[in-house]
Structure 1
């Protein structure tokens, strides 16, 4: 259809329920309640609204938050998508918040330089939360309690919640942490919660529709399932990598969504090799990779590189290594940057395009979606 071809370009070839409570409006946006005065005029009495998300549960806000502490870049990407990027006052590690995709969206940007890093040389200090004086901490509190060396005590979380602002968030990027024994959310389930916080449910619904139509169009043009390669996803940030932390594509975390959307299989299925988590830090080497011999390799830790820079450093090194050069993926140039650890909804759209054109060049080329239409949803 003409409308779809304009929107989606470049297709060539073949632990609580997430309801609203309190004074939230029926569409999930904050509302004012009013009572009549003796003079017969209405005066606002309450603008509060309640949102709910595991593990924090119900959180009541007086107004839409203007200053929000973030740890995860995926939630930051959600805020930007909803037109509230200027509310982000912090990030766990700002260097992990990849923002280059905003450059392709007219009028969409975020000031990463102004964000405070929550993780310092000595880990995370509760004092930084007092210094920020946020209206809301859009962070999974259990992540802060269990985050390896960079963690806070449970009593610190309680103190910050009561003395500064509540926590509201859920670690959705992976599903391999044993401590995460409460409800998980998909990328768009979490995104809808964030939209409720910001009172932007209409924008969310437009972005969800854009996503759904885009993914459906891409999937219509995918090769048959038996023609799609499997992939070994791992982390190895060196330009001359020799040791890797494996991930599992079968994990339903949000940072695997682009691969699931494209039907790329997990090369580690039935191998006994587990995925990266806070409790599992095992590594693999080229000898182990060769036993699996995946069709393709997705290597995380290289989002600062272009495809050409990646090929001239990492892939070139692998081609010159005695063992790595025997890998089918290396011989066929099927080694790719593996994407960010914390992709949000906007970043995900660009990743689907990147992996679709990289894996299936006979079916996809160029830009697969309309940047102007996406930007207009965000900025209008």
Structure 2
């Protein structure tokens, strides 16, 4: 997108496109989630020129773009990964914990030939400052305004101001676990699956071919999994945990609605907690032993700064933790990230399939450190070369 200055107080072509998004926000809040374009929308399209196009996502509504965005503000990593998948990884201007997620994502990117990623040093946007968004001057804010306005420093007027004066918002985050939006966003808020949202984001970037190519890889992977899953009664019991400090362990659900479980839900594991634990509940070794899972999935276990061997040792040396079946059978496995986009989702579907069903999908190597293990070509569940080509624009 061109970065032109306004002249004599009139909005630039880029600003006109952004304002179309702000109008759509108001229409959605009034209950207009579909239907024909308004006069303001038509004017925005005319002013933006013949190359303009529109895309739509809840809760933003319809947004008019004069040209595909190149620089991208994100807050959560499912959006950052979507931009990366569409060839805009280098254009990301902001994200949550950029150095942490740069390290984690590169553990997977290592296995994509000819692909590189560097998110280090980006603006950390967990609690974004409006003035910084002006300074970043990103072509699109790939973030959910309904999530942003949950922050004390933001309200609806701020959202509309940024959409008009900097660039549109285009993202959805409350689909993570089907969270309820605040009342001002509740009317017509829609929830999307991970790949459903990725398709909408691809439309915003005018990249339908890239989306279709990656979706084909994903569909093939799901088909492989679904055709080879053992009967439900033969599946392992599983818990997913995370802990920066082993003294405070958080447990997470595996199959509830939302894109956070898009890598575990298709594999149909049995919840060792039997639904008694909500995501984010703090548990101890006694609680885990009572559930006695066959497999423990350890979120963040593949981040370079995580001592995965030490986490296993903490279980093995504890008189209670050592009695857990998963610990006794050396089935404590690392995971990557819950806020995954399409690329990490492919890897996490493959790794989780191997971690849960080694007899069916091949053994998962015992991981302690380093990048995603090099899986023998005949045991891979998706084509790395194909994914790398799509990211690099060869499709």
TM over 0.5: yes
Structure 2 CA distance for aligned equivalents of residues 126 and 341 of structure 1: 27
| Alignment check: 8 A CA contact 1:64 1:198 kept | yes
1:328 to 312, 325, 334: 325
Matching residue of 2:165: 163
Structure 2 CA distance for aligned equivalents of residues 290 and 17 of structure 1: 51
Matching residue of 1:87: 91
Gaps of 5+ in 2: 1-27, 38-44, 363-374
| Alignment check: 8 A CA contact 1:174 1:251 kept | no
| Alignment check: 8 A CA contact 2:174 2:180 kept | no
Matching residue of 2:291: 292
Change in CA separation of 1:328 and 1:72 when aligned onto 2, cut-off 3 Å: same
| Alignment check: 8 A CA contact 2:86 2:391 kept | yes
Matching residue of 2:260: 255
2:202 to 171, 195, 198: 195
DSSP 3-state at the match of 1:146: coil
Matching residue of 2:383: 370
Change in CA separation of 1:17 and 1:200 when aligned onto 2, cut-off 3 Å: farther
Measured after TM superposition, the shift of residue 243 of structure 1 is: 2.1
Q: Greater share of helix residues, 1 or 2? A: 2
DSSP 3-state at the match of 1:343: coil
Q: How many residues align?
A: 334
Structure 2 CA distance for aligned equivalents of residues 48 and 324 of structure 1: 59
Cα distance per residue 1:83-106 (max 9 Å; x no partner): 222321111221235322222212
Cα distance per residue 1:9-51 (max 9 Å; x no partner): xxxxxx78998976xxxxxxxxx99xxxxxxxxxx94322221
DSSP 3-state at the match of 1:336: strand
Cα distance per residue 1:75-123 (max 9 Å; x no partner): 121122222223211112212353222222123222212522224xxx4
| Alignment check: 8 A CA contact 1:172 1:186 kept | no
1:112 to 119, 123, 129: 119
- Larger relative contact order (CA 8 Å, sep ≥ 6): 1
Structure 2 CA distance for aligned equivalents of residues 159 and 283 of structure 1: 39
1:208 to 211, 215, 234: 215
Matching residue of 1:352: 349
Structure 2 CA distance for aligned equivalents of residues 245 and 86 of structure 1: 33
DSSP 3-state at the match of 1:89: strand
| Alignment check: 8 A CA contact 1:89 1:132 kept | yes
Measured after TM superposition, the shift of residue 305 of structure 1 is: 4.5
1:138 to 121, 139, 142: 142
Measured after TM superposition, the shift of residue 209 of structure 1 is: 1.2
DSSP 3-state at the match of 1:237: strand
TM-score by length of 1: 0.79
| Alignment check: 8 A CA contact 2:217 2:382 kept | no
Matching residue of 1:37: none
| Alignment check: 8 A CA contact 2:177 2:260 kept | no
TM-score by length of 2: 0.77
Matching residue of 1:99: 105
Structure 2 CA distance for aligned equivalents of residues 165 and 138 of structure 1: 10
Structure 1 CA distance for aligned equivalents of residues 251 and 150 of structure 2: 21
Measured after TM superposition, the shift of residue 220 of structure 1 is: 2.0
| Deviant stretches of 4+, over 4 Å | 15-22
DSSP 3-state at the match of 2:219: helix
Cα distance per residue 1:182-209 (max 9 Å; x no partner): 2111011110011101111012112111
| Alignment check: 8 A CA contact 1:318 1:324 kept | yes
Change in CA separation of 1:321 and 1:340 when aligned onto 2, cut-off 3 Å: same
Matching residue of 2:72: 68
Structure 2 CA distance for aligned equivalents of residues 351 and 89 of structure 1: 26
